[in-house]
Structure 1
Amino acid sequence: MGERLEYAVVMAVLGVLRLLPYRLRVRLAGRVMVWLSGPLGLRRRVRANLALVQPDLASDTVAALERAVPDTIGRVFAEVFSPEGLAAQARGAPITGDGAEALERARRAGRPVIVVSGHIGNYDAFRTALILEGHRVGALYRPFNNRLFDRRYRAAMEANGGVLFARGQQGMADMVRHLRGGGVLAILIDQHMDQGAPLRFFGKTAMTATSVADLALKYDAELLPVYGIRRPDGIGFDLIAEAPVAHSDPLTMTQALNDSLERQVRAHMGQWIWTHRRWKAPRNRLGRGAARGNRPGAG
């Protein structure tokens, strides 16, 4: 019953938003989330994370970020459930950066590619753009606890032709099969992982899964940091593919991904989801967590 009530509320909100034109829908969703950010505790989480890793920020800057981050969350929510509108924005945005040519070379050669991003801008804008350009794209995701909402989310994410791999034994098997067949795999790596390695992010220890690097090494896949950075109009995106991460060892490669994301976050502070508990201490001992962080699917 709890799941059904929760789902009904979310669907009611989406139903109202869908009555509006796309641009207004996205802007209103951002505004509503800003209104709700206090009662939901989002502002408190933003303040806590900024105090931890950016303690010298001016108070007015922190206050502005307390509003900007919930606005980003609301906009992404509306965009994910408006796949046709997001596709229109992605279609009009060329992929730029040193990794753009690497993507094309890999497609011509049938070589697998792993594109890695974080919760910044709208991470799905880049995935959608790749699908529209003809790439075979699959994404790894963690299913939502609410099964009704999860089905709706999955349908929205696959509406433009991509495929999702749910974490779990079957999802991992399908993901590996997709990658070995020369597909593109999209993964986000900026959430805390107890079973990850103690790497650095904003000068602090952040437990980070190294599984994406393991996969790149095992299947000779290009490993590219990619981003869908929101433009000043709040609707469009700059799609950026950075230069591929050189193959070396999993820790070095994963730290390079963390460093890339940190640069983007510093440049667009209000577009990263500062509400995640990115720097919390692991429940397991560091030695065990680091050793087990290399298993596929930990990212």
Structure 2
Amino acid sequence: MAPTSGRSEETTGTAGDWAQSCALQSAIWLARRLPYEARVPLFGALARGALHNLTTFRQRMLDNLDYVWPERPAAERKAIARAAADNVGRTLIEHYSMRRLGERMAQVSPEGPGWERLRAAQAEGRPSVLITGHYGNYEAARIGLITHGIRLGGLYRPMENPFVNRHYVEAVEALDSGPLFAQGRAGMGQLLRHLKGGGAAMILNDLYVGSGVEMDFLGKPARTALSTAELALRMKADLIPFYGIRQPDGVSFRVVLEEPIPPGDARMMTAAFNRSIEARIGEDPGQWFWIHRRWKRKWQGGKGMKPGLHPAALPRQKSR
């Protein structure tokens, strides 16, 4: 597969970035000496342990949970944070175990009403936009669809650490599992050409976007991008919510494609996706990545600021 991520041959960054990347790669190299069924729960356990030592991330998750579910007991919120950390760790090592993950996902039959719509669109040469979020393992779902013949590309946001970003993207490209498009003008142009050729695209739509609009997410205002729905409307493509849902054994998945969101106003379509992923979070909150600062207020020029904001809504995280 020809690289589509727009990366240059040379990667530059700070010494701290390089050290962080080396530490991560060393841990991954050691974990990959183990059988797949052992390395995945191991990384989950490591992530749970890190939650107690990396206080910034731990506090961020607990702040988010306290913000949206203050009525739940503190012990329950802490248990959700531990489960979420475990899922993040498993997802990370699964990403660096793409060949084994691909072999497993080839045995998983996609399900749900959106699956037939997606297959029909591909057979007819029509584009499809698959919308998802940081729930379960979205890469497992993407690979699962690819192993079943779907021409599925992915739009991704490059990581802040350029060294980590490089080997993270290379792990996907090594499997030849479909094109990746980095956010930006060049990546969007490549994505549009892919869609115009009858391909499908996966886009994650559950992160804070400063240029987005405030919409309700788990009962609180969260700045949300409308661009995914706008893209589907522009391309006259089905907008299909889909998920890679981790199963109780911790290493298996269901790939579920929901009913396509009816075309209409981009804001209403995006709100419909919010309700979709909220339902998934409600079913198993430990599968969502609570580590992201989803509800922070836009801080440029003081917009969105007011006295007494909850720590989860502050423009910058404060230690407590």
What TM bracket, shorter-length normalisation?
over 0.9
Query: Do residues 25 (structure 1) and 49 (structure 2) align?
Result: no
Tell me, what secondary structure is at the counterpart of 2:113?
coil
Counterpart of 1:268 in structure 2 is 284
Question: Displacement of 1:283 after TM fit?
Answer: 2.7
**How far apart, CA to CA, are the structure 2 residues paired with 1:64 and 1:149?**
29
Counterpart of 2:171 in structure 1 is 156
**How far apart, CA to CA, are the structure 2 residues paired with 1:91 and 1:205?**
39
The answer (yes or no) to whether the contact 1:83–1:160 under 8 Å persists in 2 is no
Question: Displacement of 1:45 after TM fit?
Answer: 1.6
Query: Do residues 84 (structure 1) and 122 (structure 2) align?
Result: no
Q: Deviations over 1:104-125 (max 9, x none)?
A: 1111111101111111100111
**How far apart, CA to CA, are the structure 2 residues paired with 1:210 and 1:55?**
28
**Percentage of matched positions with identical amino acids:** 39
Letter of the aligned partner of 1:128 in structure 2? Answer: I
Counterpart of 2:185 in structure 1 is 169
Tell me, what secondary structure is at the counterpart of 1:38?
helix
Question: Displacement of 1:78 after TM fit?
Answer: 0.4
Q: Deviations over 1:23-80 (max 9, x none)?
A: 1000000001111112213332221111111111123311211211110110001000
Aligned counterpart for 1:48 among listed residues 60, 63, 66: 63
Aligned counterpart for 2:90 among listed residues 75, 84, 100: 75
Letter of the aligned partner of 1:28 in structure 2? Answer: L
Tell me, what secondary structure is at the counterpart of 1:224?
strand
Unaligned runs of 5+ in 2: 1-14, 305-320
The answer (yes or no) to whether the contact 1:127–1:137 under 8 Å persists in 2 is yes
Residues 275 and 97 of structure 1: CA distance in aligned 2, closer, same or farther (over 3 Å): same
The answer (yes or no) to whether the contact 2:109–2:255 under 8 Å persists in 1 is yes
Question: Displacement of 1:160 after TM fit?
Answer: 3.8
Letter of the aligned partner of 2:119 in structure 1? Answer: E
Aligned counterpart for 1:65 among listed residues 80, 91, 96: 80
Query: Do residues 2 (structure 1) and 16 (structure 2) align?
Result: yes
Counterpart of 1:294 in structure 2 is none
**How far apart, CA to CA, are the structure 1 residues paired with 2:41 and 2:137?**
14
Q: Hey, which bits of structure 1, 4+ residues long, moved more than 3 A?
A: none
**How far apart, CA to CA, are the structure 1 residues paired with 2:299 and 2:273?**
24
Query: Do residues 37 (structure 1) and 88 (structure 2) align?
Result: no
Unaligned runs of 5+ in 1: 287-299
The answer (yes or no) to whether the contact 1:230–1:238 under 8 Å persists in 2 is yes
Query: Do residues 192 (structure 1) and 169 (structure 2) align?
Result: no
Q: Deviations over 1:73-94 (max 9, x none)?
A: 1000100000012112211211
**How far apart, CA to CA, are the structure 2 residues paired with 1:63 and 1:6?**
27
The answer (yes or no) to whether the contact 1:141–1:164 under 8 Å persists in 2 is yes
Counterpart of 1:295 in structure 2 is none
Counterpart of 1:291 in structure 2 is none
Question: Displacement of 1:163 after TM fit?
Answer: 1.1
Letter of the aligned partner of 1:6 in structure 2? Answer: Q
Counterpart of 1:296 in structure 2 is none
Tell me, what secondary structure is at the counterpart of 1:270?
helix
The answer (yes or no) to whether the contact 1:230–1:271 under 8 Å persists in 2 is yes
Tell me, what secondary structure is at the counterpart of 2:142?
helix
Aligned counterpart for 1:144 among listed residues 141, 156, 159: 159
Query: Do residues 227 (structure 1) and 255 (structure 2) align?
Result: no
**How far apart, CA to CA, are the structure 1 residues paired with 2:193 and 2:299?**
32
Question: Displacement of 1:261 after TM fit?
Answer: 0.5
**How far apart, CA to CA, are the structure 2 residues paired with 1:63 and 1:50?**
9
Query: Do residues 13 (structure 1) and 27 (structure 2) align?
Result: yes
- TM-score (norm. length: structure 1): 0.92
Question: Displacement of 1:199 after TM fit?
Answer: 1.0
**How far apart, CA to CA, are the structure 2 residues paired with 1:44 and 1:2?**
22
- TM-score (norm. length: structure 2): 0.87
CA RMSD of aligned residues (A): 1.3
**How far apart, CA to CA, are the structure 2 residues paired with 1:213 and 1:66?**
30
